[in-house]
Chain A
Amino acid sequence: MKTLQAQVPEALYDRVNALVRDGWFRDPGEVLGEALRRFIESHQGSLAEKFVREDVEWGLRGDD
């Protein structure tokens, strides 16, 4: 396991703690790990690249 340090807005920090307090996660690290995993899954480089390529094609040859 690796350690990451991050600064987050107060409100976000409170919501992370609320998830732990309510028993959904063991600790704030587990919340951040899950959040990062979901973010990375939906922001894969290959996906971003596909979207940019589609955009260039539309920009050059689209009809709107």
Chain B
Amino acid sequence: MVCDAGPLIHLDELDSLRLLGGFRPVIVPDPVYEEVNRHRPGCLEKSGLSLEREAIRGPRREETAVLGRLLALDAGETAALGLMEKHPGAIFLTDDCAARLAAERMGYAVHGTIGIIVRAIRMRLMSADDVLRLLRELPRRSTLHIRQSLLEEIISQVEKSADLSPSE
């Protein structure tokens, strides 16, 4: 898995970086590592993840570089796309719409924080109740932007899927 800074920051805010534990390795380019460290100092070292840091600053392919510039991607997102060129079979984890748009255009598999949290039920990393609690707490505990009504829809979908009735 190749990570952009957003999901690492959001998952750490939710005390849930361990949900990435099944992905070996979790690869981050230097600019992403530096960005995460600025926002959440030391969180990656303490995470226990199988983390690999790569000294890459940008993509080699001209198409990727142009796409990055057109979509005004930041240094971390651009470097992460550069890493995806090296690891095209990896999952790219980002919460940035433009970065996701670029990565999907390049044919990469892309997911975000919400997907990782919901996946925790399927992978039996967390109970459905705990995932639902985390989703409900998301606006208060994390800086991930999501429309409240969409979050409520997701919660309802997860409840139905896990065959749970609402706790209220």
Binding site for B on A (CB under 8 A): 35, 38-39, 42-45, 47-49, 51-52, 54-56, 58-62, 64
User: Which residues of the partner chain B approach A49 to less than 8 Å between Cβ atoms?
Assistant: 147, 150
From A43, A52, A54, A62, contact of B150 by CB (8 A)? A52
Q: Is B141 an interface residue (CB 8 A)?
A: no
Interface contacts (Cβ under 8 Å), in number, total 68
From A38, A52, A61, A62, contact of B146 by CB (8 A)? A52
Q: Is B134 an interface residue (CB 8 A)?
A: no
Closest to B117 in A: A59
B74-133 interface with A by 8 A CB criterion: 91, 97-98, 100-101, 110-112, 114-122
Q: Is B161 an interface residue (CB 8 A)?
A: yes
Binding site for A on B (CB under 8 A): 70-72, 91, 97-98, 100-101, 110-112, 114-122, 146-147, 150, 154, 157-158, 161
Q: Are B122 and A42 in contact, with the CB atoms below 8 A?
A: no
**Closest Cβ of chain B: how far from A40's Cβ, in Å?**
10
From A48, A51, A56, contact of B154 by CB (8 A)? A56
User: Which residues of the partner chain A approach B91 to less than 8 Å between Cβ atoms?
Assistant: 64
From B72, B110, B122, contact of A38 by CB (8 A)? B72
Q: Answer whether A55 and B121 are a contact pair too, CB < 8 Å, given A35-B72, A47-B101.
A: no
